[in-house]
């Protein structure tokens, strides 16, 4: 498998140096990091060479959809992953996934993850991990509910306070998503089956207002209070052996993590 095209979007590996440079530029546009926080082009090149992934989604620049061999293509999404190793097993760590603002909420993020999965499975990986901000309701919903990832590790202020406004200048707390890509559980989720049932033993809420609270200095303390409260709840729940297995969002846009007991056999 090398290429996936639907409509005018083509998803494929990035190989040429210019494509790595374009990924770098999109990173800058999406996260608005200061230069010191940016992943450099050289790291994209290395990731592609050492068994990681640099995957891009391209559309034809011309709105009329001229033949792509003639027209320039626009990169609208990229995923960057590097190989990792834990307890003697290799896995992929997906460090970044970005979709250009105007192409969001149309399923492209999910398709990018599916492409990453297909490539990873073809090369023998069973696990992909990535970290995500537990205050990001949208990302949590995508990761847990639409992809079937789970989480049972919490990293406090993983990168320090970064220069990206997406982070709202809060400590960069992260949940670690584990995506057991080959498992029947994940296959079922991806096929659109209802989530496997589990006994819900704890719930952790994120209010819909979190985005506006993070965005303004005047309300940032409210966002910080949610973060600190949830940090404690996650840490306690994980210490008790619970894992995030489900995620709900209501009509108002509030998010809710659902925690239960993870069964190791669900990795397969």
Ligand X SMILES: CC(C)(COP(=O)(O)OP(=O)(O)OC[C@H]1O[C@@H](n2cnc3c(N)ncnc32)[C@H](O)[C@@H]1OP(=O)(O)O)[C@@H](O)C(=O)NCCC(=O)NCCS
**Binding-site ranges for ligand X (CB under 6 A):** 30, 96-99, 104-110, 132, 137-139, 141-142, 249, 253
Nearest residue to 238 via CA among 208, 201, 205: 201
Q: Which is nearer to ligand X, 132 or 234 (CB)?
A: 132
Between CA 243 and CA 245 the distance in angstroms is: 6
Q: ∠46-80-101 over CA atoms, to 5°?
A: 140
Provide the minimum distance between the beta carbon of 252 and ligand X in the complex, in angstroms, as a whole number. Answer: 10
Q: Which is nearer to ligand X, 12 or 138 (CB)?
A: 138
Nearest residue to 182 via CA among 117, 253, 230: 117
Residue nearest to ligand X (CB): 109
Q: Which is nearer to ligand X, 71 or 84 (CB)?
A: 84
Provide the minimum distance between the beta carbon of 97 and ligand X in the complex, in angstroms, as a whole number. Answer: 5
Provide the minimum distance between the beta carbon of 62 and ligand X in the complex, in angstroms, as a whole number. Answer: 22
Tokens 């979190």, residue located: 210
Q: Which is nearer to ligand X, 54 or 96 (CB)?
A: 96
Between CA 33 and CA 14 the distance in angstroms is: 22
For every residue of 170-215, DSSP letters joined together read: S---EEEEEEETTSHHHHHHHTTPPPPP----EEEEE-TTHHHHHH
Q: Which is nearer to ligand X, 141 or 201 (CB)?
A: 141
Provide the minimum distance between the beta carbon of 98 and ligand X in the complex, in angstroms, as a whole number. Answer: 4
Between CA 197 and CA 241 the distance in angstroms is: 18
Residue 192's alpha-carbon distances to 3, 197, 220, in angstroms, are 23, 14, 37
Q: Which is nearer to ligand X, 19 or 129 (CB)?
A: 129
Provide the minimum distance between the beta carbon of 112 and ligand X in the complex, in angstroms, as a whole number. Answer: 7
Provide the minimum distance between the beta carbon of 180 and ligand X in the complex, in angstroms, as a whole number. Answer: 19
């Amino acid at each position: 498998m090398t290429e996936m095209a639907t409509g005018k979007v083509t998803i494929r590996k990035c190989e040429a140096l210019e494509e790595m440079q374009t990924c770098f530029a999109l990173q800058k546009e999406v996260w608005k990091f200061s230069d010191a926080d940016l992943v450099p082009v050289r790291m994209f090149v290395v990731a592609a060479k050492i068994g990681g992934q640099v995957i891009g989604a391209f559309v034809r620049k011309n709105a009329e959809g001229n033949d792509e061999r003639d027209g320039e293509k626009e990169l609208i999404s990229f995923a960057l992953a590097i190989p990792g190793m834990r307890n003697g097993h290799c896995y992929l760590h997906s460090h970044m996934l970005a979709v250009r603002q105007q192409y969001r909420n149309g399923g492209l993020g999910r398709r990018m993850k599916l492409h990453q999965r297909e490539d990873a499975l073809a090369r023998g990986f069973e696990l992909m991990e990535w970290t995500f901000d537990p205050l990001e309701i949208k990302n949590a919903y995508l990761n847990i509910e639409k992809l079937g990832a789970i989480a049972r590790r919490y990293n406090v202020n993983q990168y320090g306070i970064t220069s990206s406004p997406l982070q709202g200048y809060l400590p960069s707390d992260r949940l670690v998503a584990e995506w057991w890509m080959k498992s029947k559980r994940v296959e079922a989720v991806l096929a659109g089956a209802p989530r496997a049932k589990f006994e819900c033993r704890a719930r952790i809420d994120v209010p819909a207002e979190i985005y506006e609270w993070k965005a303004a200095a005047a309300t940032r303390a409210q966002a910080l209070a949610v973060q600190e409260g949830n940090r404690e709840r996650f840490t306690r729940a994980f210490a008790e052996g619970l894992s995030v297995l489900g995620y709900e969002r209501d009509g108002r846009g509030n998010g809710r993590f659902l925690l239960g007991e993870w069964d190791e056999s669900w990795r397969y």
